[in-house]
């Protein structure tokens, strides 16, 4: 089993940070910083561990932000070309997860030192990411911060270019939301326009994730952007747009599906068969579907299915699952079978009763069938 992310914030990391801070500032109270940063560490989750380390920095680094910023900058390891998330604190300096509380420190305490703080964010992100810290500045000084981020889109370092996108995501996971960009994503989209043709997939994937955030509040706008960007798009751009539109595709947005070549399916002899009409919790729902093309030319099909799960109040809620993508020749028949496990998971509570299977092709429902779930 993979090591939990929270364990990246451990005693070795804290001791390493302390040693580098003291190396750059001999008056630094190394032991008290270690004690404060380590308090009940095992009982804390990832963000709480990071915040506790940040609070220890605020207590034991100089209260003069300019001086504290100079110490942090001098404590950094050489910048990293590869995977910043695999790095950590070593004899060369601070990098990896230790950057997270440092960027948080700058976000909280550096607003009155704008230029120095933005320079720090730029250097910190080369060694992990400043995506959480820079959001304080997007909230407090959005226009000035966006001007800097526009310059970052042209930076030679891919980590800096990515920060322009990742830091401006309106609904970045684990981070503060950016309500003004949730309401009006125009300034963010301007940044993404500058980055959509980036040479590095690492940056383009962030652009896609940012756009996917925006679909949650402005689906029609992102659908229009997708159609526009797909005109003459390279293979790499098409991949970006498809990833950006993954939520819209899953929701069956017809404008987006049409842009990717998925039109209304022309099918006949459609049949859905549930082979396990009664499913005991912990077992599998087994079902199959058959169809025949009713089109004179080949047609691409994106086949998904929905399970309408029973809720405690007797109503149902639907969850979409990807199934298959096929190209169906003229008059060709297709039969597909599937097993869907219904077992304990952390994100859903199951209830006994009538459930429904719905099959969707190119975003449109082509049939449904019911089954009963029995709880032991």
What domains does the chain contain, in order, with CATH numbers? 5-259 (1.25.40.290), 267-374 (2.60.40.10)
**pLDDT confidence of 167, banded at 50, 70, 90?**
very high
The answer to whether residues 298 and 266 touch, using CB atoms and an 8 Å cutoff, is no
Cα distance between residue 69 and residue 67, in whole Å: 5
Distances (CA, A) of 112 to 71, 141, 269, 301: 18, 10, 69, 55
Backbone angles phi, psi at 51, to 5 degrees: -65, -35
Q: Which of the residue ranges 4-8, 267-271, 294-298 would you say has the lowest mean pLDDT?
A: 4-8
Cα distance between residue 84 and residue 10, in whole Å: 18
**Per the structure block, which two tokens stand in for 272?**
């859905």
pLDDT, mean of residues 99-104: 98
Give Cα 122 distance to the centre of its chain. Answer: 21
The answer to whether residues 124 and 133 touch, using CB atoms and an 8 Å cutoff, is yes
Whether the pLDDT of residue 2 is over 70: the answer is: no
Q: Which of the residue ranges 54-58, 198-202, 231-235 would you say has the lowest mean pLDDT?
A: 231-235
Percent above pLDDT 90 for the chain:
93
Whether the pLDDT of residue 87 is over 80: the answer is: no
pLDDT, mean of residues 273-281: 97
pLDDT at 257: 93
Whether the pLDDT of residue 82 is over 70: the answer is: no
CB atoms within 10 A of CB 161: 26
pLDDT at 5: 86
pLDDT, mean of residues 266-282: 97
Cβ neighbors of 3 (< 8 A, separation 6 or more) are: none
pLDDT at 1: 54
pLDDT at 345: 92
- Model pTM? 0.85
pLDDT, mean of residues 328-349: 95
The answer to whether residues 201 and 165 touch, using CB atoms and an 8 Å cutoff, is no
Cα distance between residue 28 and residue 63, in whole Å: 12
Single out the residue of 30, 20, 93 nearest to residue 59, CA to CA. 30
**Which CB contacts under 8 angstroms, 24+ apart, belong to 329-333?**
329/293, 329/298, 330/293, 330/295, 330/296, 330/297, 330/298, 331/292, 331/293, 331/294, 332/292, 332/293, 333/269, 333/290, 333/291, 333/292, 333/293
Percent above pLDDT 70 for the chain:
98
**Per the structure block, which two tokens stand in for 292?**
């025949």
DSSP-assigned beta bridge partners for residue 273: 288
Give Cα 81 distance to the centre of its chain. Answer: 22
Average pLDDT value over all residues in the chain: 95
> At 322, is the secondary structure helix, strand, or coil?
strand
The answer to whether residues 114 and 148 touch, using CB atoms and an 8 Å cutoff, is no
pLDDT at 157: 95
């Amino acid at each position: 089993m993979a090591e939990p992310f929270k364990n990246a914030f451990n005693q070795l990391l804290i001791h390493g940070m302390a040693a580098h801070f003291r190396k750059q500032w001999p008056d630094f109270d190394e032991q008290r910083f270690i004690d404060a940063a380590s308090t009940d560490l095992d009982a804390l989750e990832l963000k709480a561990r990071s915040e506790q380390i940040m609070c220890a920095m605020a207590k034991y680094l100089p209260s003069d932000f300019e001086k504290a910023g100079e110490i942090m900058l001098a404590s950094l390891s050489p910048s990293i070309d590869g995977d910043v998330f695999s790095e950590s604190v070593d004899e060369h300096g601070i990098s990896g997860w230790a950057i997270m509380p440092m960027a948080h420190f700058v976000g909280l305490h550096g607003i009155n030192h704008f230029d120095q703080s933005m320079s720090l964010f730029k250097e910190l992100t080369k060694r992990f990411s400043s995506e959480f810290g820079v959001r304080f500045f997007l909230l407090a000084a959005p226009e000035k911060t966006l001007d800097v981020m526009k310059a970052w889109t042209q930076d030679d370092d891919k980590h800096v270019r990515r920060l322009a996108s990742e830091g401006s995501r309106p609904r970045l996971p684990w981070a503060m939301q950016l309500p003004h960009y949730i309401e009006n994503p125009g300034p963010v989209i301007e940044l993404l326009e500058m980055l959509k043709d980036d040479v590095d997939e690492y940056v383009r994937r962030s652009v896609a994730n940012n756009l996917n955030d925006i679909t949650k509040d402005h689906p029609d706008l992102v659908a229009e952007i997708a159609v526009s960007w797909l005109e003459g798009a390279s293979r790499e751009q098409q991949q970006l747009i498809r990833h950006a539109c993954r939520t819209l595709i899953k929701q069956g947005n017809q404008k987006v599906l049409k842009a990717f070549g998925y039109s209304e399916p022309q099918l006949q002899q459609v049949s859905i068969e549930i082979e396990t009409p009664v499913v005991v919790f912990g077992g599998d729902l087994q079902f199959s579907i058959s169809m025949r093309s009713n089109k004179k030319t080949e047609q691409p099909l994106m086949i998904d299915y929905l399970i309408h799960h029973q809720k405690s109040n007797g109503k149902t809620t639907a969850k979409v699952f990807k199934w298959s993508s096929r190209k169906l020749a003229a008059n060709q028949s297709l039969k597909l079978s599937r097993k869907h496990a219904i077992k304990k998971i952390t994100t859903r509570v199951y209830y006994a009763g009538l459930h429904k299977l719905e099959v969707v092709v190119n975003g449109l429902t082509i049939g449904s069938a019911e089954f009963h779930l029995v709880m032991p």
